[in-house]
Structure 1
Amino acid sequence: MKKRYLMMLFALAFSLNGYGQYFFDVSVDTAWTPNTVVLPPSPLKFQVLFVGGTDKVQTTATYGNEPGEALAKQWHDFIGFTPDNDSDDLGWVSVNHERINANDSIGDGGGMTVFKVARDPSTDEIVIVEQTLEDGRSGKYFNVDFVNTVGETGMNCGGITSVVDGRIWTAEEWFRRNNESISSLRNLDPFTIRTDIPGDFNGSTIEKYENFNYMVEIDPRKAKAIRKQYNWGRQPFEGGTVMPDNKTVYLGADATPGFFSKFVAETPGDFTKGKLFVYKHDALTAPTDPWVEIDNSMLANMLNFSQEALQAGGTMFNRLEWVTNNDGKVYMTETGRDGLGTRFENGVIAGGVLDYHWLEPVRARHPQMVDKPDDQVIEFVKRGGFNDYYGRVLEFDPATGLVTTYLEGGPFFAESPEFTQYPEKHLSNPDGLNVMVIDGKSFMVICEDLNGTSNGRVPAGISNRSCELYLLDMTIENPTVDDLTRISVTPVGAEVTGAQATPDGKTLFVNSQHPSTNNPFPYNNSLTYAITGWDIAVSAIDDIEEVVLDTDSQFKVWPNPVARELKFSKILDAAIYNQAGQRIKVFRGQKSIDVSDLTPGLYFLNTSEGEIQRLIIEQ
């Protein structure tokens, strides 16, 4: 009997949504004021791996202090992963620390922590591996040495994990304009560059603040920085991606205007030599060549990349953040901001242009612009008429040279609806972005970082900037927000970010950044967690309840009694009531829910279609 139902389940999965729809629901409910990480349902497994301010990192000799150990910095952001192809271990995890502060042992500014992981063969869970590095440091967690290699780092936000070989770059984001903005550093003397990058860089002396805002390569095996990529320009970098040719690097800058740039190496894998370009396109049709070269052999050009990009007529974007690639195409988050003001208008005066991907969101949210000519819509954006509350995911196709909207954020509301009227699926200010490949199938992983709570980004009356992690099946053509699956929610105050999968597709690493200090430990600290079991979640299940495939159309729930995950035979909008008739939980568009937060006892499930089921919640 079980074999027959297994075959029927495979047939059902293929017929419902093409190849590879989930064989069970991995989604979690929205949690508007959680004080812990909201977990995905079984059989996925959750682990906290690394806690800022609590776990200790091994340090090098810094500022004249002896090597030792110190409490790890906080504000975890980017997660990089470097496979270990020479042992049975999985590889090295690299975690950014975005916040700038002084530290005698770790180094002033921001920073990174690296640690090595393996997989427990009996449980598939992640294990932290003890290491001894070539510089003699021993332990589990290691501070990356920037101070003694490339100078201090700071605002370590996004970054790059090369899909080719796992090389890691950290992005120094928040743009620094003077030494006062880095006043927490103990040494603000001018900095003399030491680098192997050709041009007039090596030996040049610059102001201290000018040594920030680069992509910085590190070696996680040694826990040391290698070089600042002066030849990629000084920008408020957030993300980037190395293409499979190991020569082409696409880069995103978090600014308004922000620029989409490209570096092409002369030799695969050697990123010290090559050409730098800025994207330039302002038409609906495919360009002949949308790239304009910026001379990256001159330090003056690289220190002032944004001005050079504007003068070259570069296309202006509204806060480009993380960048990734899949199947030859490039994807990047344009996270948006509430008010553009005169940012684009001033950029146009300086020579910049606007892309036509703005037409769709403007016309969708401003009825008066629906029948206006394209150029008038672009003029509307240029003059600050469009408030880009939600942002979007963009797609760049190198074959056509066009940037188009892949997934628009939303749905948009002029005023935030009440909780009971709030849509089940919503995407606000996408930030972190990556692709997780499971059994050869690609899923986009999207992290939210809400710019605000107005205009429907959260329901009316909710003040927490609740940030959610979403999964998107990339075989879906023309995806919308309704195609997203929510897979995790971070606690009150926290941004969800990082989202880096292991190459085997079994584990997803995620960061919970700067949560409220009122949350219970460890969720009151920035932390790195792992969700393991994705290969099982997407490709198979070990046990199949026959009710799933019952040909009887009657609505069913199971298991009943239930301790944690309650499943349904169809997608539901419903509410749970206690014996006193009080409404305890409301959910929309779900095929399973977590009821572990309910006190054991008798409850009633009432669907929007009037169906009622008696529930018994047990411990």
Structure 2
Amino acid sequence: MKKSLLFLFGLFSLWSFALINFKGVPVFSIVEAQQKTQPLTGKKVKTEKPVTIKRNAVTTVLPVAQYPLPKGSQWSYLDNGSDQGATGWNQLTFDNSAWAAGAAPLGYGDPVATTISYGPSSTNKYITSYFSRDIQIDLNTIGDEVEFGLRRDDGAIVYVNGVEVFRNNMPAGTVNYLTNSASIVDGADEKRYFTTYLPKSVFQNGVNRVSVEIHNRDQTSSDISFDMYIRDKAPDYVCVEDHIACFTSIAPTSQTPVMIIPQEHRFQMLFKQGTAYMDGSGTVPGNHDFTGYIPSVGATSSALGHLSVNHENNPGGVSIVDIALNQDPANPLWVVNNSRKVDFSNTALVKTERNCSGGVTPWGTIITAEEATTSGDSNGDGYQDVGWLVEINPATASVVNYGNGTHEKLWAMGRMNHENIVVSADGVTAYYGEDGGTHCTYKFVANTPNNFSSGTLYVLKMDLALSNDEPSSATATWVQVPNTTQAERNNVTTAAAALGGTNFNGVEDCEISPIDGKIYFASKGKNRVYRFKDNGTTVSEFETFVGGKSYPITTANGVVTENWADGNDNLAFDDHGNLWVVQDGGLNYIWVVRPNHTQSDPKVMIHSSMPAGSEPTGLTFTPDYKYGFFSVQHPSGSNQAQPDATQSNVIFNASAALVFSNKDFLGQQQNLSTNPVVALNSEIQVYPNPTKGLVTLSLNEEADKNLKIEVYDFLGRKVYAKETQTTGINQKETIDLSGFKGEQLVIIQVETGDTKQIYKVLKKDN
């Protein structure tokens, strides 16, 4: 009797956690359903979480989702091949509690998180499957435009509260549960998310039901899949005049005997192979690679610093070039004050090999990467000589000492074919990858901020395998890699591979976006730049950001299509969130990708094409982002002369490092006394600056001119606009910046007639 009471009490407890549809199922089946291990993930189902539960017709009701809805969310689904056309299945009032539920992507035939049924016959599969999810919407807080990202194999129709809002790869007109998709979806398109932008008015305030019917191409198709995300549409990118990423894309081209850059930019050659080091220590070697700028006066100096240049040779090397921007407003140019090499040839370090990529730390040092794992421990210290990251103090051109009485490489970060590194702003976390060996992506968490001599190492493992070089799901896990002993540090790649680290076929560079904080990394072999959100022990929102397809390019002569091709190498973000992609193969371009780019709504530009025989390497910016630096590696010896910003001819016939910028900031300027834009500055006063809120524009302009005032935040987003007419002397226009939270710089652009002027105003809270 006591046993029966305890059993009933346990049953009542289970019932209290979930809505259960018994449908005549034995009690023991309910308990089994609550404890079922999810397929593929290995995670135990818990009743208080939204989970996949479908055993012997036992189902649960998913809780209402909160906006925005991420990839990989839970969806209710019906996969029995029935005709739901007349049932009202997509209405909010429809009772779908008998449906199963599972995490996306859902489907069969390819790697999925939840496998659905195609019916009893593999040659007569169900054509249509149904999915729905309730989502809470507050119309006062979401954006005016909403982005639906749909992954569909093959076709889909999407409804909100029973109303069709769009369809994708489906025929027009009336369809039913036997209607095939309009075309076959194959390859990478099976995993891509196709975006549709809709006004927020498609929703009602409160709970909404989003419903999707997925149609297969025919009864014998090998696969089907579905996932969807819903979020605010990213703001349109607006170019602020004179910003380094505001240029006209060059036209696609094969390599020529000269370097091609945008018409708005100039370049200046700084540091070339074969010249003498200024400290008398020898001749500059070639194969210039990673190029890092480090301010020499505080963290914000953009006019005085060190340029660190890797040399991808054997033995390898790093040069430190001390540079300064002259103060001539009529002809701003960079001056090289000194150049010298870093000395790695001591007993403790032995040497470096193939110094390929690297990174700049927040505390003002350079980390150079050895892209080689040549065996040998010539000094008998227990560590293999080659295959490490090495930290350099650019002010002294020497390897950093960690207080152990000898020079050291960064042993704890592991030995591998290192390619790159990026460090978080707090100096604790680093991300890097291997180009060769495991081809994995790694994370290192330091024990002490700004000191990477000790810490914990992890390798990235996707929860589902890549398919057609596209992620099958948006989630991954960080798996700890042993790195305490010398033997473990020498062999981290063997351990990482055994732990299931995902092979990305050449991880070239990792960077952290200043916009969304996501981690971006380039895969050379898969011709893509991936990105993800790091949640600590897990990863979410993993996706292809750019690459693997062709893009429309808007040039001065119209729109043309260019293939992304291969060779993704160094990455760099500017302060507006534009991703600069340096391509060391394929087309040897430098690309620029806008922050609001998506694969189905691309925003891609070509910045430059390298001279014949060469590839661009490294990319870095000054703290004010007026100037960028990169190197040109191994160009042809027969290239032609071309003028740089000094108005002298230079030839890319050997590896060289250079600086580029908008014409307003580099090289000979226009006659300032006759420049109408500068003259306008005397007619407009902007005050107070800094401001706590209100800003006044005082104008003394001829009356009845068109007056246009626009304000942009520091990300380049337009946040204020006004169009009116000038009224004459002592005209006052007021702008309220009190809505900006925190201290930040805003840009005010004023147009009167056909002249334009830009003002930078600092908004402070107190």
TM normalised by structure 1 equals 0.59
Instruction: Summarize the Cα distance change of 1:88–1:470 in structure 2 as closer, same or farther, 3 Å threshold.
Output: closer
1:453 is matched with: none
What is the Cα deviation at residue 394 of structure 1? 0.7
Change (3 A) 1:174 1:57: farther
Instruction: Choose the corresponding residue for 1:445, options 559, 580, 604.
Output: 580
Conserved? CA contact 1:425–1:482, under 8 Å: no
1:46 to 257, 267, 278: 267
8 Å contact from structure 1 (residues 80, 94) kept in 2: yes
Which of 523, 533, 549 does residue 397 from structure 1 map onto?
Answer: 533
Q: Are 1:509 and 1:531, in contact at CA under 8 Å, matched by a contact in 2?
A: yes
| Residue identity matched to 1:410 | K
Report what 2:60 is aligned to: none
> How many angstroms apart in 2 are the aligned matches of 1:98 and 1:481?
37
Aligned to 1:233: 414
Are 1:273 and 2:273 counterparts?
Answer: no
Counterparts of residues 31-42 of structure 1 (less than 5 Å): 31-42=253-264
- Residue in 2 aligned with 1:603? none
More helix by share: 1
8 Å Cα contact 2:260-2:611 kept in structure 1 = yes
The change in CA–CA distance for 1:236 and 1:74 in structure 2 (over 3 A counts) is: same
Q: Quick one: structure 1 residues 144 and 57, their matched pair in 2 at CA, closer, same or farther if it must change by over 3 Å?
A: farther
The letter of the residue matching 1:69 is S
Alignment of 1:298-337 (within 5 A): 298-327=485-514, 328-336=517-525
Matching of residues 84-483 of structure 1 within 5 Å: 84-86=296-298, 89-100=303-314, 109-123=315-329, 125-130=332-337, 140-148=338-346, 150-162=349-361, 164-176=362-374, 178=375, 190-192=378-380, 204-206=381-383, 210-226=384-400, 227-255=408-436, 257-283=438-464, 290-327=477-514, 328-336=517-525, 388=526, 391-399=527-535, 401-402=539-540, 403-411=542-550, 423-424=561-562, 426-437=564-575, 441-450=576-585, 466-474=587-595, 476-479=596-599, 482-483=602-603
Shift of 1:53: 1.3
1:430: how far off?
Answer: 1.2
Distance 1:312 1:491 in 2: 43
Deviations 1:246-292 (A, max 9, x none): 100111111264111111112211212211111122235665x8122
* d(CA) in 1 for partners of 2:268, 2:284: 18
Residue matched to 2:236:
18
CA distance in 1, matches of 2:663, 2:462: 39
Structure 1's 249 and 122: CA in aligned 2 closer, same or farther, altered over 3 A? Answer: same
Query: What is the CA-CA distance between 1:126 and the residue it aligns to?
Result: 4.2
Given that 2:590 and 2:608 are in contact with CA atoms closer than 8 Å, whether structure 1 keeps it comes out as yes
CA shift at 1:22, angstroms? 6.2
Which residue identity is paired with 1:160?
G
Q: Kindly tell me: are residues 19 and 407 of structure 1, through their superposed partners in 2, closer, same or farther at Cα, counting changes over 3 Å?
A: closer
Q: 2-side partners of 1:543 and 1:510: how far apart? A: 33
| Inter-partner Cα distance in structure 2 for 1:260 and 1:494 | 27
CA distance in 2, matches of 1:237, 1:296: 16
Report the alpha carbon displacement of residue 423 of structure 1 after superposing the two structures with TM. 2.8
Percent sequence identity over matched residues? 29
Query: In 2 relative to 1, CA 53–494 (structure 1 residues): closer, same or farther, beyond 3 Å?
Result: same
> Does structure 1 conserve the Cα–Cα contact (< 8 Å) formed by 2:433 and 2:442?
yes
Change (3 A) 1:89 1:19: closer
- Cα shift at 1:481: 9.1
* Structure 1 counterpart of 2:604, one-letter code: L
CA 250–33 in structure 1, closer or farther in 2 if over 3 Å, else same: closer
- Separation (CA, whole Å) in 2 of partners of 1:75 and 1:478: 34
Q: Is the 8 A contact 1:56 1:141 kept in 2?
A: yes
| CA–CA distance in structure 2, aligned partners of residues 427 and 22 of structure 1 | 30
Whether the aligned pair in 2 keeps the contact of 1:49 and 1:527 (CA below 8 Å) is: yes
> 1:535 offset after TM fit, Å?
8.6
User: Max radius of gyration: which structure?
Assistant: 2
For 1:48-67, list aligned pairs within 5 A: 48-58=269-279
Change (3 A) 1:285 1:49: same
Equivalent residues, number: 396
Q: Give the alignment's TM-score, normalised by structure 2.
A: 0.48
Change (3 A) 1:74 1:122: same
Equivalent of 1:28 in 210, 233, 250: 250
Question: 1:74 Cα shift?
Answer: 0.3
Asked if 1 retains the 8 angstrom alpha-carbon contact of 2:508 and 2:522, the reply is yes
1: distance between equivalents of 2:236 and 2:451? 41
Contact 1:81 1:166 in 2 (8 A): no
Q: 1:33 to 1:259 in 2, by over 3 A?
A: closer
Provide, for residues 156-193 of structure 1, a one-character-per-residue CA deviation record: whole Å limited to 9, x for no partner: 1010112x2332101111343x46xxxxxxxxx7224x
The offset of 1:125, in angstroms, is 3.7
Could you say what the CA RMSD is over the residues aligned between the two structures, in angstroms? Answer: 3.0
Cα offset for 1:426? 3.4
Displacement after TM superposition at 1:295 (Å): 2.1
Say which structure, 1 or 2, has more relative contact order (CA 8 Å, 6+ apart): 1
Letter in 2 for 1:49: L
Aligned residue for 1:133? none
Q: Deviations over 1:462-497 (max 9, x none)?
A: xxx5411111221x1425695221111111110111
Q: Unaligned stretches of 5+ in structure 1?
A: 1-16, 59-67, 101-108, 131-139, 180-188, 193-203, 337-387, 413-420, 451-464, 545-619
* DSSP 3-state at the match of 2:494: helix
Which amino acid in structure 1 is aligned with residue 385 of structure 2?
A: N
Maintained 8 Å contact 2:630/2:659: yes
| C-alpha distance in structure 2 between counterparts of 1:480 and 1:32, whole Å | 26
Letter in 1 for 2:506: R
Q: Which residue of 1 aligns with 2:118?
A: none
Which amino acid in 2 is paired with 1:531? Answer: F
The answer on whether the counterparts of 1:171 and 1:216 sit within 8 Å (CA) in structure 2 is: yes
Distance change (3 Å), C-alpha of 1:151 and 1:88? same
Residue-by-residue CA offset, 1:389-427 (whole Å, 9 max, x unaligned): xx1001021136033211123329xxxxxxxx9834634
| Residue of structure 1 equivalent to 2:294 | 82
| Alignment match, 2:153 | none
Aligned equivalents of 2:599 and 2:579: distance in 1? 11
